Amino acid sequence: MITAVWILTLFIAVLVTAYGKAGRLAWGAVLALALAAGIYLRVLPAPVMLTLTLLFAVLALPLLVPALRRSLVSEGLLRVYRRILPPMSQTEQEALDAGTVWWDGELFSGQPDWSKLLAFPQPKLSPEEQRFVDQETEELCDMVSDWETTSLYQDLPPQVWQFIKDKGFLGMIIPKKYGGLEFSAYAHSQVVMKLSTRSSAAAVTVMVPNSLGPAELLLHYGTEDQKNHYLPRLARGQEIPCFALTSPWAGSDAAAIPDTGIVSKGVYQGKEVLGLRVTWNKRYITLGPVATILGLAFRAFDPDRLLGGTEDLGITCALVPTNHPGVNIGRRHFALNTVFQNGPTTGKDVFIPLEWVIGGRERVGQGWMMLMNCLAAGRSISLPSSNTGMAKLAVRTVGGYARVRQQFKMPIGRFEGIEEPLARMGGNLYLMDAARTMTAGAVDLGEKPAVVSAIVKYHLTERARSVVNDGMDIIGGKGICLGPNNFLGRAYQQIPVSITVEGANILTRSLIIFGQGAIRCHPYVLKEMAATRETEQKKAVRDFDAALFGHIRFTVGNGARALVMGLTGSHFVRLPQNVAPETRRYYQQLTRFAAAFAFLADISMFVMGGALKRREKLSARLGDILSLMYLCSATLKRFEAEGRQAADAPLMHWAIWDAMFKAQNAFEGVISNYSNRLVAWFLRRLIFPLGRPYVVPSDQLGHQVAKLLIEPSATRDRLTLGMHLPRAEDEPVGAIELAVEATIAAEPVEAKLRAAIKEGRLAVAKPEDRLAEAIAAGVISEPDALLVKRAKRLTDQVIHVDDFPQDFGVSEMLKLNQHRAAA
């Protein structure tokens, strides 16, 4: 009996010590006390206790003395680690070094500090930015429509291009001293989001010059002469920029670009100067066909050592005027009926002076580092904002449509079959907007969140695809027939563009999120890798020892924490006092999931080593867990920042349950696919000792969310805040807004009519005759009849599907174009 008590006490002591991530002295004390107690109580035969004591002295004591540990253990392990660590190219190293670690690092720690999350300031617009969003951006929305740009102009109309240039839309990130607007990242996001609820062509045209491109690169790396020349011209729209990176043979593997620049001498403006002869073949270049300044990435070579140093200088970025001899632009791609300017560019042996390299001669070969450091900010804003805008358009319009469209004498939005996709749409949008806002706020705090930007790029574009697909299912035939009254068809066509650009989603999920996160966000892996590259041996051993044993303590601690929180349901996890009571359990369960994720990630890296990089499905699922924890964090942050709106709670609860259920499934997906079944059994018992805690969001919760989408309310307005909402009847979105109001206003009158028919006061007449009969019978008044007629007229307009002449109106459009050209 006493032996069992001793073993149980030892297990609890070890678990508590590991749970607290205690240091070496605490571990030594616990083990020494356990041995002393065992000897005193004679819990085991004397030879066994003697053997345990000797093992402790031989194995444990050297580990507890740093100098002995380094010489006996760490130095040898460092040699092994150096042999097995795969070589890393310069481009891989620069990608890893780029950007910053932010809240993703807290999640990877296994013990996120929720007070930090709640303390992040909520981004807000300045008065100047708010005025721009409310006036210039609204005016731009009024000037365009997706139907006209795609079917009539195949481009933005000339007057819209001029408005974009004149009002400074192309210079939102450029400082005021250069003539730009110098807007915050959040303002940039708000502008792109609003434009995306109206016209993809306008949104992309504004978005791209303010993302990764010439302006961003010049601001961080350009020479003073380059900044003073180009930035004012870019800010006032005198120059239209593009950036050419993708090649036919280097898409997702952008670092493998085959485009070359050979250092040589050539003639420029009548003088012989040092420069590069550049050959390139690029595609998918947004704004490329109309650009006046071409940002160009290529690999520079110096075979004659004219710059000194090596022959392969590395990836280099330059700015090339598109009117420069040899530059070919103008042709366009036609990407799924999107008509924003996008196309290929080529050039062969085009000589450019060395001063056209961004940053000048000293920046030759530093292009990949420059691109990676600038990528995170743009990727954090552009696609997350545009896709959140499309989702807001879908939720607002489809929710309204489901309210006014009736079948079987009932709005379709009240059928359970429609409630299910409506709930997904509302919950996904609430989460998307939360992640968009929090990430833009991080950029404004000075962060360049490399991993987080990949998370929001992938998950917000995927959720936008889900939202739009659900919307199309609900509106049915209305959605599949294109025309000026179709409010969702173009978004449905264009969603795959977002999925593909700025890192294809399959690549982002399978390789980048966890592949980069496991190194950048982990508190010890990058330090271990750095130690292997340290040339001074004593420092290398010392650094490796500190990182390795810190890593071991970290892994054991997270394993213990995951087990304890799994056994206790995480009910005893301590949280900040200012957490909302209705969200308390979510913070506790997220803490549990964070510890389990950190432990699972470490075990996966230990068991599989470098092979984990090739196990892309497992890497993707590990990335899903990290991503979903980030999205949950953003959702909880939003609920707090918006004042814990009780009416919005169903949206928050649905988003969290959905994300946590998916994260739970991702855990299971990793564990179930371990080749080592013993390790899989151990992981499952440790992470889910009492089973999995989450299920899909309930039908009752989905009903509450769906109801919020089909009824006018402050919650519905907050959910779609920031979108363009026209009020004209001849606008498809405006017609829906007016039809919803008219339908609700007419419902009491419709109820009177139904009651009168049931009571026999009215005959079951044709609908067109019923109103006159009801007025004559005193059931309703003339104003009541007008309400019913208005609701009927607007609803007819909303459900109307466009039709065209046999040639789809091509001849009419040609005549209109000729008329406008003549004018």
Q: Among candidates 624, 220, 724, 172, which has minimal Cα distance to 440?
A: 172
Cα dihedral sign, 474-479-485-491: positive
Q: Give how far Cα 258 sits from Cα of 180, 255, 305, Å.
A: 35, 9, 20
Q: Give how far Cα 549 sits from Cα of 64, 68, 544, 620, 650, Å.
A: 11, 13, 8, 28, 45
Neighbours of 577 (CB within 10 A): 6
Q: Active site includes 502?
A: yes
Report residue 606: phi and psi, to 5°. -70, -45
In angstroms, the CA 318 to CA 371 distance is 12
Please list, in sequence order, all residues whose beta carbon lies within 8 angstroms of the beta carbon of residue 110, skipping any fewer than 6 positions away: 554, 557, 558, 561, 562, 594, 595, 597, 598, 599
Residue 121 per-residue DSSP state = P
Q: Is 80 exposed, middle or buried (0-12, 13-18, 19+ CB in 10 A)?
A: exposed
**Alpha-helical segments (H) within 42-99:** 46-55, 61-64, 66-69, 75-84, 90-97
CB 341 within 8 A of CB 205: yes
What does the block give as tokens for 386? 């545009």
CB 180 within 8 A of CB 129: no
Report residue 508: phi and psi, to 5°. -60, -45
Residue for token pair 């807007």: 183
CB 732 within 8 A of CB 486: yes
In angstroms, the CA 491 to CA 29 distance is 64
Mapped onto helix, strand or coil, the DSSP state of residue 46 is helix
How does DSSP assign 236-296, residue by residue? TTSS-EEEE--BTTBSS-GGG---EEEEEEEEETTEEEEEEEEEEEEEEEETGGG-SEEEE
Q: Among candidates 379, 382, 253, which has minimal Cα distance to 315?
A: 253
Q: Which helix (H) or strand (E) holds 507?
A: helix 505-507
Out of 94, 136, 502, 737, pick the active-site residue: 502
CB 486 within 8 A of CB 148: no
What does the block give as tokens for 223? 């020479």
The secondary structure of 183-226, three-state, reads: CCHHHHHHHHHHHHCCCHHHHHHHHHHHCCCHHHHHHHHCCHHH
What does the block give as tokens for 92? 């891989």
In angstroms, the CA 384 to CA 371 distance is 19
Residue 56 per-residue DSSP state = I
Q: Is 361 exposed, middle or buried (0-12, 13-18, 19+ CB in 10 A)?
A: exposed
In angstroms, the CA 792 to CA 811 distance is 34
Number of helical H runs and strand E runs in the chain: 36, 8
Reported in sequence order, the residue ranges of 422-511 that DSSP labels E, i.e. its strands, are none
Residue for token pair 């271990």: 528
CB 578 within 8 A of CB 643: no
Catalytic residues: 502
